[in-house]
Structure 1
Amino acid sequence: MVILVVGGAGYIGSHMVKQLSKAGKQVVVLDNLSTGFRELACYGQLVVGDLADTVLLERLFREHQFDAVMHFAACSLVGESVGDPAKYYRNNVSNTLNLLDVMVRHHVRHFIFSSTAATFGEPEYTPIDEAHPQAPINPYGASKLMVERALQDYATAYGLNSVSLRYFNACGADPEGVLGECHDPETHLIPLILQAASGRRKSITVFGRDYPTEDGTCIRDYIHIEDLCSAHALALQALVDGELSGALGFNLGNGQGYSVQEVIDVVKDIVAEDSCELAVEEGERRAGDPARLVADATQAKKALGWQPQYADLITIVRHAWAWEKKLARIQ
């Protein structure tokens, strides 16, 4: 099987490429390296390029007999999307349509799309299942939802079968320590806390302690990167085997939320083993932060036979800490 992974030099994409390569798949990575890193593209064949370059896309599809495409190349910063929505609609929507169009022209019918819980907007209830209304509150979520809706039409009109996987909080790192999370700027909670513990950041700020939760801090559903990628691999195989068709969407998460304070407490215990300490500062609530975001992944488990293997927070943090120590050169 030959697979094109767009955005395969980024955090999620690089882990996906490793899993596919280890499973014997032939992988071509397309990444413009705007947020990805060349050194993370250590599996598969890297092609540096952009989805806006339709000439490049045509050449790639002529040179390779792709069986499927996996797409991880979206811009994904909520705040940036509010300040510069054009960037998000151009890259996340227009460029994705470039990719879908070349797939249709070259008769590639299997597509895995990296979507997001941001398509749901403010939660009306938790845990959030697939029946929850999709009403995004920022251009990032709106751009992802536009693609999901386009995929429904492409399935009907062109027979392009797809699975959109909506995840909540990707986290952790490759258990073998080869890959991990690298963002600039970093916006995810666990690496931010670990950077504060390693000394690469001064402190971590808790934004609000007056939420209607058990300890007053926000609760989120954290899913290990390896579990996330295994769901993508299962979805891809189901498409190729003809077990799934049309345009489907599944939510991915552990179904169990952890509060900001719980994450901080686990990090403190783990980094103490390396004689590292964590400075915590207090801040005001941030606008638009729901008290609780937890996924209901029942449908993904039923349809894909998926089961998270690294669901406990301690394991997630240990893997992420091993990667952070590598970056911070802590022995």
Structure 2
Amino acid sequence: MSVESVVNRYEEIYDEMKKEFKWSFVNKKVLLHAAMTYAVQPHIPFNSQQFKGLCNRISKDASMFSPLKQDKRLTVAAILETKYDDPKTNFHYMKRIYDLLVKKKFRRGAASYTTALVILSQADEVQSLDEYVERTMAIHKGMRKKHPFITSEYDYPLAALLAVEHHDTDELMRRIEYFYEQLAKNGFRKGSDLQFLSHILSLDDEHSPDEIISRTLAARESWKLSGMKHKGLHYPVTGLLALAGGDSLLFDTISETSEDLNRRKSFKWEKDWNSLVAANITMRTTLDPDESLSVSMYASLNTVLEAQNAAMVAAATAGAVAATSSSGN
């Protein structure tokens, strides 16, 4: 499919979802993420009734205070339906993994459900699920030791991706920290976004750290030259673009797609999110999925956007709660 046809599909699916969940008070960014998950999988038909039925099934099976009773059920349903032939069976597998994560001292909540989905998608690549989960926790603890104030549960999903290939936690931490410090010296702002970027770059162990840094700096410049603002929220997708090795035409297409989304009535108030979606759609439709690096990137792409989306929704919710509390006082 062309980029334009995927954008059209994205808008159609979003409008259908918005109508279907009209009275459910679902956060808009959750609907946007769920719609995008379907849009970039053109071979998966979207049926709004079937989707809502799966969401209801997930909610019904969840415990009383689970995030799956709320907005999280939509993104989980979208990922399960677009990735697996039997979404309901894989939902139960995901729940078992989530229970194992909680048993291993992961925090209960949306981030751990995202992590359970990552582990479910990687389960065929590991021999022992128990060891995989323990390695994920060890990597997360390593992250928190280096950066205690900016590491949170939203780093769980990337820790799970890194745990597939990296068995030496100390070596991995040195690699992540090298990316973090070198990029900070080259104009990237220190903080959670840069840490997230450093994690993504560490997924590539086929190239030297200096080459990866050079490609990341080039990707940032290409992003800016295409006319787009480069903010902290763009750091992770910049890393994916650097690993993918896209040329300047790729960035021009991202910019054009972002502008297209900004002009559409359904999306015109979501400019920051639109730029992330534009990058996702462009990479999915433009890059060759048979290239080994692209295969690795595709495994990370939805995880990165899901983790970012969860963090953005949490931040928006926290802001709303703070505003309500302030007005109440």
* TM-score (ref. length: structure 1): 0.26
Structure (1/2) with the larger strand percentage: 1
Structure with larger RCO (C-alpha < 8 A, sep 6+): 1
* TM-score (ref. length: structure 2): 0.26
